[in-house]
Each structure stands twice: as structure tokens, then as C-alpha cells.
Amino acid sequence: GSTLEIKGLHVSIDDKEILKGVDLTVNQGEIHAVMGPNGTGKSTLAQAIMGHPRYEITQGEVYLDGENVLEMEVDERAQAGLFLAMQYPSEISGVTNSDFLRSAMNAQREEGNEINLMQFIKKLDKNMEFLEMDLDMAQRYLNEGFSGGEKKRNEILQLMMLEPKFAILDEIDSGLDIDALKVVSKGINKLRGEDFGCLMITHYQRLLNYITPDFVHVMMNGRIVKSGGKELAERLEAEGYEWIKEELNIED
């Protein structure tokens, strides 16, 4: 399987250092959760990997199967098999959801090997049904007038259609009611398997009641300060983050 390696990553925003050396390896087949208090740099990690121009990488590397991701253009990162939920445009006027998905899938394929229209429609219908989405959503303009829950479901639809090697999902659970959360989780659990690796960033443990992570990492002050299994998330839910600060002598 493939490997996504984050090595000694330092990231600054407006000359302020936010990430102070993050090391993390995700293998295909594994789901890693990154948790931590607000403002500790979790979203910065996702944004830096996706290549957001505001986030300056001052040190460190990100490798996908030994290839330097940080040297790739954003679309090359997607072609290499990385899915970053936020990389997709919030709205593109005049482009239907279905057209958008088909071109995103074709962009990952070799020229001349575009997905067959019938196969595409079959796969789209199957996945939309699985995600309990209204089939009309395919013909609506991308994200135009989508509710928060519809956008999240649609992100999971993109994920299921694109079948990336690795997905980096930042707060995929935020603002979801229980029914939408269950559907989103069902999608991720369906993808789970030896061809899929996931870095799930979440402030709340709630999501992890539906998607059991293989590994849990705690980020504080721009570093991963503790790693463990799912029991770590359970302890955070019960006791908060204070005990980690005490254990590691971290000052606020």
C-alpha cells in the first residue's frame, strides 16, 4: 500500500510560526484522528498539505510514496491520490454537480481513458442512493444553495466517486445533525479498507463514536504531543485535555 509521510513540518502564517515540527505517517488501510483544543494548528496542517498559498512551509516535507507533495501543484496533489475536502471550490456557477464530479474523475485518469458515461452514471446513482441523497442534487449547480448538511454529504459523495489513496478531512462533522453525521460516517466506513487511508481532523470525539480510528493523535501548540489508539479519544472525551498538559508539563 501507499504511505503519506509528514516529516518535521513547520508552517507559518504571516511570519507567525503555527506548526512547530509535525511528524505523522499514515499508511493506506489506516484511519488516523488528529484531535486537539481550538487554535492549536489542526486546520493549518490540512491547509499546508493542500497547498494553500497563505500557509508558508518553512521546514519539513510531505511525501506520498516518496514523492514530494509540497513540490506539486494543487491539482497534481489530487492526481497523485490525495483528497483534501476543502480543495474543491465552494461554488462554480453554471457547472452541475454531476459535470464537476465527472471532470474531477477524468482529471485523475490518463488522457484517452476517460470514464465511460454509463459507468459514471451507474456509480453516481449507486453512491447517491447509499448516501441517501436526493438524485436531483446531481443536476444542481455545485454547492449553489446547498445547505451545510448537503455540502458535507456532497463532499463524501466526491470522496466515494474519486476513491483517493488518502483523504484529509477537516472537521467533516462540524454543524451536522445526528442523521447527517451518520450518513457521512457510513460513507467513510464504506471506503475504509486496504486501499484507503484517512487523516480525520476533529475537535469533538463525537465523530469517533461512528468512525473508529486506528490511531489518535493529540495536537497542542503546533505539535503532536501524544499518540495512541481509540482509547485515547475516549479519555479525552471523559477528561478533556488538562491531564495531557500536566503530564507533559505544557504551559498555556
In this structure, are residues 84 and 172 in contact, taking their beta carbons and an 8 Å threshold? no
The binder of 127, among ligand ADP, Mg ion, none, by C-beta within 5 to 8 A per type, is none
- Based on the shown chain and the rule CB under 5 A, indicate whether residue 43 belongs to the binding site for Mg ion: yes
CB of 44 to ligand ADP, least distance (A): 3
Using the rule CB under 6 A, is 44 a contact of ligand ADP? yes
**Who's near 92: CB < 8 A, 6+ residues apart?**
100, 141, 142, 143
Residue from 4, 12, 24, 43 touching ligand ADP (CB under 6 A): that is: 43
Among 22, 24, 31, 41, interactor with ligand ADP by CB under 6 A: 41
Give me the long-range contacts of 5-8 (CB less than 8 A, separation at least 24).
5/61, 5/62, 5/63, 5/64, 6/45, 6/49, 6/60, 6/61, 6/62, 7/60, 7/61, 7/62, 7/63, 8/59, 8/60, 8/61
Binding-residue pattern over the window 49 to 68 for ligand ADP, x denoting contact by CB under 6 A? -----x--------------
Cβ burial, residue 16 (10 Å; 0-12/13-18/19+): exposed
By CB under 5 A, name the one of 169, 208, 218, 233 that touches Mg ion: 169
Which among Mg ion, ligand ADP, none contacts residue 39 (Cβ within 5 to 8 A by kind)? ligand ADP
User: Helix H segments across the chain?
Assistant: 42-50, 74-79, 97-107, 117-130, 148-162, 178-191, 230-239, 242-248
Q: 42, 102, 165, 223: which one contacts ligand ADP (CB under 6 A)?
A: 42
Out of 4, 6, 9, 18, name the contact with ligand ADP by CB under 6 A.
Answer: 18
Give 120 or 241: the residue with its C-beta nearer to ligand ADP.
241
For residue 200, the partner it binds in Mg ion, ligand ADP, none, with Cβ less than 5 to 8 A by kind, is Mg ion
- Interface residue list for ligand ADP (CB under 6 A): 13-14, 18, 36, 38-44, 54
